[in-house]
Structure 1
Amino acid sequence: MESKKYALITVSNRKGLAKFARKLRELDFEIIASKNTAKFLKNHRINSTDVKEITGYEPIMGKHGIKLIHPKIFGAILADPKIKSHRKDMKKHKINPFSLVVCNFYPFEKTISKNRFKHETAIYNLDIGGPAIVRCAAKNYKNVSIIVDPSDYQLVLDCLENFEEIPLKIIKIR
């Protein structure tokens, strides 16, 4: 395990993501990204690691199926390096803890707000992993900051540049 900073990024709304991720890399974050997010970052010449390199698994159950629900990902979100048993598990399973999770969901509400939406399209846009990841990060809020809204990117970057972390006070009010 290293003392490097790790960010998990899995987003549907990519507004402002290239600029944000580029700055995270400048701040020495290693970015782990879901398949399509990693592809987006690669297209913008931003280095990231596809989550499958961490888990050893390709996404299953279709395009919007299971990509991130895996013990190595959830372990990296829940990990508290101050707890001995966590350090032991992190070492055993080669898990580097995330200090930042960037996640927004598929546009389910937008999909069903259309007059004549298709049931299949609505189901397709019903996010499973995203909400689970956000809940997991919320459970470990003292060690992991969560961003669900692209409008918070600049605030987070300002905190990281000025304080090298996101103060708990900011995390609580957002």
Structure 2
Amino acid sequence: MKIRYNKRNNAANKNRNRYWLIASIIVIIACSYFGIFHSHRYFGFDLNLWVVLAGGLALYVPYYIWLENNSKWDKLRTLLYYLFIGGPIIYPVIILHRYYVEKQLSDHGVTTSGIVTELYIKRGKSSRTPYAIFTYELNGKVWTQEVINKDYSLLSGDTLQLLCSEEDPEIFEVIK
């Protein structure tokens, strides 16, 4: 039985692959944007986890289009693909996020004080991390943030000295 080559199906597959590739590039760009400019907005790793998962899935689409063939070297090639393609994307996002936060604090930083309102402990499988929730006022609005309570040094009602960005008040640094 002969299998006939169908040019129409091949062109449709190429178009579909092109659309998936464009969609994955858009998702990678969006994840990079959120990683640089918005990952500081939520303490913890909820947003960052979703950004990494979406970016990782978006990275898999070009891999699947270009490299997938289910050979015995597929796992090694997948690892190398993520190291040499995903790594060079993730590293600059982390560096640019740090630069963005530092630039906001140096250019638009103002000092303010915050009051510790609540203390709690997050328990993991083999860890316990103490946190302190505090509020502060900036630009006529009250903001709530949390920090790790190292050595249980903060108590409810304590006052914290903060350096906050006027343009993005959720960027802060505890001065003490």
TM-score bracket, normalised by the shorter chain, equals: under 0.3
Given the two structures, how large is their TM-score scaled by the length of structure 1? 0.26
Higher Cα Rg, which structure: 2
**Higher relative strand content:** 2
Given the two structures, how large is their TM-score scaled by the length of structure 2? 0.25
Greater relative contact order structure (CA < 8 Å, 6+ sep): 1
